[in-house]
């Protein structure tokens, strides 16, 4: 899939719709369980809600990475909070011009379409994380996962990522004595005929 020519908006909507039941209907007694991305279930649910809110702010051209603008505690009503954030995010991207806008992210500068594609990947990966922790099944949308996979293969072009993170440390002036946990582990080998969702999460460093 060509990430530069794909309108990611309908795929983002579908990614968020797939995430909704896993997030909203999570067993409240399972909040302490670990997930494959090193957050607990409760932490990851809140993170996914913040992702929706962040996508909305980026779509409106607002500062999106100030932690003070986002909730730090889970909402009392997950269904209402999720649906409100989803509506805000999708409305923010209704103008086609946002797809060609220049978006400044902490790690790169991208077009609106490319930036939104990274959030298709993030929502999809974290939906998988949450579903794995909660032993939930998800009906994966192949088009959504294909965009997520194509996006991450652009963002993470090498399977072995040590040199990439070393270059990142140098680029951003992170001293050697400062701890820097790599955002993504090396890719995990899976068969070429593995399901697309398995190939995608394996490329992000997760073990399917």
Residue 5 has pLDDT above 80, yes or no: no
What are 88-121's pLDDT values in tens digits?
A: 999 999 999 999 999 988 888 899 999 999 999 9
pTM recorded for the entire structure: 0.95
Q: Domains in the chain, start-ordered, CATH in brackets?
A: 9-158 (1.20.120.450)
What are 30-79's pLDDT values in tens digits?
A: 999 999 998 999 999 999 999 999 999 999 999 888 888 899 999 999 99
What are 150-170's pLDDT values in tens digits?
A: 999 999 999 999 888 888 888
Q: What is the length of the chain?
A: 208
Can you state the angle between helices 41-59 and 78-92, rounded to 10 degrees? Answer: 30
């Amino acid at each position: 899939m060509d990430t530069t020519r794909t309108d990611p908006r309908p795929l983002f909507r579908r990614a968020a719709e797939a995430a909704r039941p896993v997030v909203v209907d999570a067993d409240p007694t399972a909040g302490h369980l670990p997930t494959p991305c090193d957050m607990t279930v409760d932490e990851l649910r809140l993170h996914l809600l913040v992702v929706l809110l962040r996508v909305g702010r980026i779509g409106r051209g607002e500062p999106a990475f100030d932690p003070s603008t986002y909730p730090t505690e889970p909402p009392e009503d997950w269904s209402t909070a999720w649906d409100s954030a989803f509506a805000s995010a999708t409305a923010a991207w209704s103008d086609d011009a946002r797809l060609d806008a220049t978006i400044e992210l902490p790690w790169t500068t991208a077009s609106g379409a490319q930036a939104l594609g990274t959030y298709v990947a993030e929502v999809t990966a974290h939906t998988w994380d949450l579903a794995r922790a909660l032993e939930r099944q998800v009906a994966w949308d192949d088009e959504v996962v294909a965009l997520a996979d194509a996006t991450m293969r652009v963002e993470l072009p090498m399977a072995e990522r040590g040199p990439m993170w070393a270059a990142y440390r140098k680029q951003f002036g992170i001293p050697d004595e400062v701890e820097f946990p790599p955002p993504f582990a090396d890719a995990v080998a899976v068969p070429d005929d593995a399901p697309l969702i398995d190939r995608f999460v394996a490329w992000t460093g997760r073990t399917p």
